[in-house]
Amino acid sequence: MDGRIYLDHAATTPLDPRVLEAMLPCLRDAWGNPSSVYGEAREARGRFSAARRLVAELLGAAPAEIIFTSGGSESDNLAIRGIAHAARHLGNQVVTVATEHHAVLHATAGLEQEGFTVTRLPVDRCGFVDGAMLEAAVGPDTALVSVMLANNETGTVKQFPRSRGSLRQGTHKRWSTLMQFRRRIARNRRDPPRVDALSLAAHKFYGPKGVGVLYLRTGTPLEAQIVGGSQEKERRAGTENVAGSVGLATALRLAMEELPARVRHVQAIRDRILDEIPRRIAGSVITGPLEPERRLANNASFCFEASTRRCC
Amino acid sequence: MDGRIYLDHAATTPLDPRVLEAMLPCLRDAWGNPSSVYGEAREARGRFSAARRLVAELLGAAPAEIIFTSGGSESDNLAIRGIAHAARHLGNQVVTVATEHHAVLHATAGLEQEGFTVTRLPVDRCGFVDGAMLEAAVGPDTALVSVMLANNETGTVKQFPRSRGSLRQGTHKRWSTLMQFRRRIARNRRDPPRVDALSLAAHKFYGPKGVGVLYLRTGTPLEAQIVGGSQEKERRAGTENVAGSVGLATALRLAMEELPARVRHVQAIRDRILDEIPRRIAGSVITGPLEPERRLANNASFCFEASTRRCC
């Protein structure tokens, strides 16, 4: 791939060699089953528990609020179906947005087939949801509100009603990038996230593929989607992916530690791309907003048409 | 752990160093997203496709019949809920056995809550299902039959009605060990498995944790359980776990190649344990059958009571 520059980190990122180093002892030596009771399992359980504590600390959460999954799609599905099913006695309506990730759109479409009412809010031409419209859509029958904080394709950072209390039954928001996550949520690391559920996929921030996290605020109802053993406090069955979870935790730690430098780096690249592509390529249209605070630091996206006008 | 011998390979196995070697290039270099279309994704896609073809060849299946999942529990859940939901118009009854794995028992209990009728067949004191009882339980409303071929706790190898044709809508059987799988199914490697669905968890045969396979015979109806992207022919959403899938395929190849030697090795250990424990430990009772053809080569299990009589 000489001379090529990979720019599709929203699709996936390389595995950070430091993350691989952290995973190797789990792959080589700490191979026990964390749910077993004897000595051989103890080292695996210790590393797995430490990964959970580290993720919790980095998110400003409690360890019991961290559920390890196989990735972002499973986390999204678990949050949406799991909360909606468990909260069904409280209401039959789910509120979401037309531009969500397919893991959210298809999961809510499934709820619709089960008899839920799904309200899909429209967005403006830059991808924004109207906050007043969102608040108005939430009513006494709302079981769940699921809105991504930032769009993974257009980079649009969503604007929300500030008060979670105005939504009767929890909000599930999905972060498409860690940078966004940190800027918005973790200013005070001791503050828990201001949502009830949050999905992370390790391979989006230099971690391994096949592992994710669902943060679930204490007290949020959840029905398990993969059932069997009692792993993850009966919220997600299956032998624990120790190496993957350690990899996710390490990648998250590095992302948090290096966030200011990473943001500076990608933002400069983003701005140059957003500046030069429309000037150099006739018919290119920037999608999403241009204002720095309203667009992900790592996102530049375009449509290519006959006209070069901006979408907003 | 000096002086200790790990004997709980039914819970999990160490990662074979040769499997780790096969995974490392995916973790270090082939980190692209297999579903992307550009060059950087090509190497990842190539390795991932090769893993699928290898698993298919080893199982005597077609590549399109192999679905990669996050492990055995997800595979079991996907098969049971996925087939039952998709075949619901054909019938409302699910047949299974009281001694199945929790991933099967809890999934069928969930179907019961949705309105399915679940028939749970009893076993005799050595864990066997009566073949005639199984055939009698299957009727015009049967959507799915799910029976494990061998029990993971007692080692009991189940006896089945030979003819799959006698079951109207497919059979899902779950293998708890690869040895059993090979002995029963893969005598002729070109013969596809004589079931409609089959679950594998890599970490049970010296592969990595967090990855599994569902074999699904062509023509078997299936409703996806994790929804979102169109990976795995829309049967299982989520960015593909390339390294894990390559690890599973490599571990499966090694298991198949080394099967006769592995069986000889563990069978000798098993027989010595089954012989000596009852003689040395007062009050120990062997659970499951003793006849070599009716017990897994790698299984020795006991209860410890006041009496030393055999259960059968």
Query: Under an 8 A CB cutoff, do B106 and A237 touch?
Result: yes
Q: What pLDDT score was predicted for residue B172? A: 40
Residue B44 makes CB contacts below 8 A (sequence gap 6+) with B26, B30, B31, B32, B33, B34, B240, B242
Query: Under an 8 A CB cutoff, do B36 and A8 touch?
Result: yes
Cβ atoms of B263 and B256 closer than 8 Å: no
User: Which residues of chain B does A244 touch, with a Cβ-Cβ cutoff of 8 Å?
Assistant: 209-210
Pair of tokens at residue A263: 């943001």
Q: Which residue of B has its CA nearest to A68?
A: B210
Whether B152 contacts chain A with CB within 8 A: no
Nearest to B246 by CA among B44, B36, B59: B44
Cβ atoms of A110 and A84 closer than 8 Å: no
Q: What pLDDT score was predicted for residue B188? A: 36
CA distance B1 to chain A (A): 7
Q: Where are the domains of chain B?
A: 25-257, 259-304
Residue B10 makes CB contacts below 8 A (sequence gap 6+) with B152, B153, B176, B177, B204, B298, B299
User: Which residues of chain A does B210 touch, with a Cβ-Cβ cutoff of 8 Å?
Assistant: 70, 210-211, 239, 241, 243-244
Residue spans of chain A under pLDDT 70: 1-2, 158-194, 306-312
Whether A6 contacts chain B with CB within 8 A: yes
- CA–centroid distance for A64 within its chain: 18
Distance CA A178, CA A219 (A): 25
Nearest to B251 by CA among B58, B19, B63: B19
**A303, β-bridge pairs:** A285
Q: Residue A17 carries which side chain, given as an amino acid letter?
A: P
3 state SS of B256: helix
Pair of tokens at residue A125: 């031409």
Is the interface score ipTM higher than 0.85?
Answer: yes
Average pLDDT, chain A: 85
**Helices A242-257 and A259-280 sit at what angle, rounded to 10 degrees?**
80
Q: What values do phi and psi take at A199, rounded to 5?
A: -105, 140
Nearest to A197 by CA among A78, A45, A101, A71: A78
Closest partner residue to A11 among B33, B103, B237, by Cβ? B33
- Pick from A226, A245, A246 the residue to mutate for testing the B interface (most B CBs within 10 Å): A226
Q: Residue A71 carries which side chain, given as an amino acid letter?
A: G
- CA–centroid distance for B245 within its chain: 16
Residue spans of chain B under pLDDT 50: 161-193, 308
Q: Which residue of B has its CA nearest to A107?
A: B227
Query: What separation, in Å, do the N-terminal and C-terminal C-alpha atoms of chain B show?
Result: 35
Is B154 exposed, middle or buried (CB count within 10 Å of its CB: 0-12, 13-18, 19+)?
A: buried
Cβ atoms of B76 and B173 closer than 8 Å: no
A228 — alpha (psi -120 to 50), left (phi > 0) or beta?
Answer: left
Alpha-carbon distances of B295 from A104, A228, B287, rounded to whole Å: 45, 24, 10
CA distance B220 to chain A (A): 21
**Helices A178-185 and A259-280 sit at what angle, rounded to 10 degrees?**
120
Whether A64 contacts chain B with CB within 8 A: no
**Helices B39-59 and B242-257 sit at what angle, rounded to 10 degrees?**
30
Strands A117-121 and A93-97: what pairing?
Answer: parallel
pLDDT tens digits, A109-165: 999 999 999 999 999 988 888 888 888 998 888 888 888 878 888 888 865 544 444
Q: What pLDDT score was predicted for residue B171? A: 40
Q: What pLDDT score was predicted for residue A183? A: 33
Distance CA A169, CA B189 (A): 54
Query: Under an 8 A CB cutoff, do A73 and B227 touch?
Result: yes
Q: What pLDDT score was predicted for residue A311? A: 57
Cβ atoms of A235 and A91 closer than 8 Å: no
| Domain range B25-257, CATH class | alpha beta
Whether B211 contacts chain A with CB within 8 A: yes
CA distance B27 to chain A (A): 6
User: Which residues of chain A does B12 touch, with a Cβ-Cβ cutoff of 8 Å?
Assistant: 31-33, 36, 239
Q: Is the dihedral of CA A145, A151, A154, A156 positive or negative?
A: positive
Query: Under an 8 A CB cutoff, do A38 and B228 touch?
Result: no
Pair of tokens at residue A79: 């949050």
Query: Under an 8 A CB cutoff, do A210 and B209 touch?
Result: no
Residue position matching structure tokens 């893993």: B51
Q: What pLDDT score was predicted for residue B195? A: 77
Annotate A219-260 with DSSP letters as a single string. Answer: T-----SS-SS-HHHHTS-S---HHHHHHHHHHHHHHHHTHH
Q: How many residues does chain A have?
A: 312
Residue position matching structure tokens 């970490």: B203
Query: What separation, in Å, do the N-terminal and C-terminal C-alpha atoms of chain A show?
Result: 35
Report helix, strand and coil shares of chain B as percent, to nearest 5: 40, 15, 45
Q: Residue B57 carries which side chain, given as an amino acid letter?
A: E
Q: What values do phi and psi take at A167, rounded to 5?
A: -100, 125
Pair of tokens at residue A290: 């241009």
User: Which residues of chain A does B208 touch, with a Cβ-Cβ cutoff of 8 Å?
Assistant: 27, 243
Q: Vertex A186, ends A290 and A206: CA angle to 5°?
A: 75
Q: Is the dihedral of CA A274, A277, A282, A285 positive or negative?
A: negative
Q: What pLDDT score was predicted for residue A215? A: 93
Residue A255 makes CB contacts below 8 A (sequence gap 6+) with A178, A179, A182, A205, A206, A262
Distance CA B52, CA B245 (A): 8
Q: How many residues does chain B have?
A: 312
Cβ atoms of A175 and A198 closer than 8 Å: yes
Annotate A60-111 with DSSP letters as a single string. Answer: T--GGGEEEESSHHHHHHHHHHHHHHHTGGG-SEEEEETTS-HHHHHHHHHH
Distance CA B231, CA B278 (A): 51
Whether B299 contacts chain A with CB within 8 A: no
Pair of tokens at residue A312: 């907003």
B-proximal residues of A, 12-41, CB under 8 Å = 12-15, 17, 20, 23, 27-28, 31-33, 35-36, 38-40
